[in-house]
Amino acid sequence: MILQKYIDNPLLYQRRKFDIRCFSLVTSVNGIIKAYFYRDGYIRTSSKEYSSTNLYNKYVHLVNDAV
């Protein structure tokens, strides 16, 4: 399952939106819950500066450089 939420009033890094990617795995086998966390995460920033007056510019929100 992937959990995510769009943040209406985002924190900015150098006036750009960003996301932090961290990976974890939670398992339950016979009622025993185990959690694993991958230590190496990363941060991605958008290519355009964020402005609440221009919300229709997709490059303000896009932080995925693989698209």
Instruction: Dump pLDDT digits (tens) for 2-41.
Output: 777 767 777 888 888 888 888 999 999 999 999 999 988 8
CB 46 within 8 A of CB 60: yes
* Distance, CA of 19 to CA of 64 (rounded, Å): 9
**Average of pLDDT values for 55-65?**
72
The overall pTM is greater than 0.85 = no
Q: How confident is the model at residue 65 (pLDDT cuts 50, 70, 90)?
A: low
* Distance, CA of 43 to CA of 36 (rounded, Å): 20
Please determine, for residue 67, whether its predicted confidence score (pLDDT) is greater than 70. no
Measured over the CA atoms of residue 8, residue 6, residue 19 and residue 3, the dihedral's sign is positive
Copy the structure tokens of residue 66.
Answer: 């693989």
